[in-house]
Amino acid sequence: MRNRFKGKDYLAFKDMTKEEIEFITDLSLDFKRKWVAREPHEYFKGQVWAGLFEKNSTRTRNALERAAADLGIKIVYLRPDEMQMTRGEPLKDTARILDRYFDGLFIRTFGHEVVEECSKWMENPVINGLTALEHPTQGIADLMTIKEKFGKYEGLKICYSGNLYNVAYTTMIFCATLGIDLSIACPKGLEPDAEILVETQNRAKISGAKIEFTQDFDMALKDADIVYGMSQYSMGQSDEEIEYLKKAFAPYQITMDAMRKAKPEAIFMHCLPAHRGEEVTDEVMECSQSVIFDEGENRMHSIKAILAAVAN
Ligand code: CP
Residue 236 in this model has a pLDDT that exceeds 90: no
Query: Whose C-alpha lies nearest to ligand 1, atom 4?
Result: 59
- Rounded Cα distance between 215 and 251, Å, is 9
Confidence grade of residue 3 (pLDDT, cut at 50, 70, 90) = confident
Residue 235 in this model has a pLDDT that exceeds 90: no
Confidence grade of residue 237 (pLDDT, cut at 50, 70, 90) = confident
**What is the pLDDT at residue 2?**
73
**What is the pLDDT at residue 265?**
97
Residue 1 in this model has a pLDDT that exceeds 90: no
This model's pTM is above 0.95: yes
Residue 71 in this model has a pLDDT that exceeds 80: yes
Cis previous bond, 273, omega within 30: yes
Query: Whose C-alpha lies nearest to ligand 1, atom 7?
Result: 58
**What is the pLDDT at residue 254?**
98
Confidence grade of residue 232 (pLDDT, cut at 50, 70, 90) = very high
Average pLDDT over residues 9-18: 98
The residue with greater pLDDT, 98 or 234, is 98
Q: Which domains does the chain have, with CATH numbers?
A: 13-135+299-310 (3.40.50.1370), 138-296 (3.40.50.1370)
Tell me if 109 CB under 6 Å of ligand 1: no
Residue 8 in this model has a pLDDT that exceeds 70: yes
Average pLDDT over residues 239-255: 95
The residue with greater pLDDT, 2 or 249, is 249
Q: Could you count the other beta carbons within 10 Å of the beta carbon of residue 46?
A: 9
Pick from 251, 239, 255, 312: nearest CA to 289: 255
**What is the pLDDT at residue 257?**
98
With 0-12 CB in 10 A as exposed, 13-18 as middle and 19+ as buried, what is 232?
A: buried
- Report the separation in Å between the CA atom of 76 and the middle of ligand 1, taken as the mean of its atom positions: 19
SS3 97: helix
* H or E stretch covering 238: none
- Rounded Cα distance between 243 and 25, Å, is 37
**Best mutation site among 53, 54, 58, 269 for ligand 1 pocket (most ligand atoms within 8 Å of CB):** 58
Average pLDDT over residues 25-53: 97
- Report the separation in Å between the CA atom of 312 and the middle of ligand 1, taken as the mean of its atom positions: 26
**What is the pLDDT at residue 261?**
98
- Report the separation in Å between the CA atom of 133 and the middle of ligand 1, taken as the mean of its atom positions: 15
- Average pLDDT of the chain, as a whole number: 97
Residue 271 Cα: closest atom of ligand 1: 1
Tell me if 65 CB under 6 Å of ligand 1: no
Tell me if 302 CB under 6 Å of ligand 1: no
**What is the pLDDT at residue 217?**
98
Residue 209, C-beta contacts closer than 8 angstroms, at least 6 positions apart:
175, 176, 178, 179, 180, 181, 182, 203
The number of CA neighbours under 13 Å toward the Cβ of 59 is 23
Interval 150-178: pLDDT, tens: 999 999 999 999 999 999 999 999 999 99
Helix 136-150 vs helix 18-37: crossing angle, to nearest 10: 70
